[in-house]
Amino acid sequence: MATLAERLNAWFADAATPDTVGRLREPTTSEVAKAISQDPSHDVTLSRSYLTSLRNGSQTNPTISVLSAIVRYFQSREMTLPVSVSALTSEADPPNAAGEEKDEWAEMLSDRQVRSIALRAGQLTPDLREQLLSIMDVLDDPRTSAKSRNDDDTSDRGQS
């Protein structure tokens, strides 16, 4: 069961965008607090220190208007995780196969390296993506890895 802080930090990670050299960069707490405070669609003003307290778990009971303002900010970003007040605050996720699959995907995509690989692969041509998938299939198959190690051992013995 994820806490408010864990879910909020997952949103920050999910909202990461590539910088000029292609590395993923999360929005800073300061940037998010400023954007929320400057949003004319609501009256919420959010300080960097309060948002930091929400992210580190020292503050755990924000008002619904603060939660709504945070949700509005993340809804304006390209996100893979569900973004809503209930997604941020719900105690338990609904027990269904689709929800579990979403959680599995969200967990995998919360890893920066996985997101970076996915973003880079998205920029490849379809032919290059096929080649990349073939390479990954070879890396995933333990029989192929074991066979290639055995072949290397056999060829080493033949040369001695």
The CATH 1.10.260.40 domain(s) of the chain lie at 4-111
Q: How far apart are CA 95 and CA 93, in angstroms?
A: 6
Highest mean pLDDT among 48-57, 110-119, 134-143 belongs to 48-57
Residue 152 scores a pLDDT above 90: no
The helix or strand, by DSSP H or E, that contains position 105, with its residue range, turns out to be helix 97-109
Tens of pLDDT, residue by residue over 11-23, are 999 999 988 888 8
How high is the pLDDT of residue 97?
46
CATH of 4-111, one of 1.10.260.40, 1.20.140.10, 1.20.1300.10, 3.20.20.10: 1.10.260.40
Highest mean pLDDT among 90-94, 99-103, 106-110, 146-150 belongs to 106-110
How high is the pLDDT of residue 94?
46
Tens of pLDDT, residue by residue over 119-135, are 788 788 888 888 888 88
The helix or strand, by DSSP H or E, that contains position 143, with its residue range, turns out to be helix 142-159
Residue 47 scores a pLDDT above 70: yes
Please list, residue by residue across 36-61, b when 16 or more beta carbons sit within 10 angstroms of its beta carbon and e when fewer do: beebeeeebebeeebbebbbeeebee
State mean pLDDT over 34-38: 97
pTM recorded for the entire structure: 0.57
Q: How far apart are CA 11 and CA 28, in angstroms?
A: 12
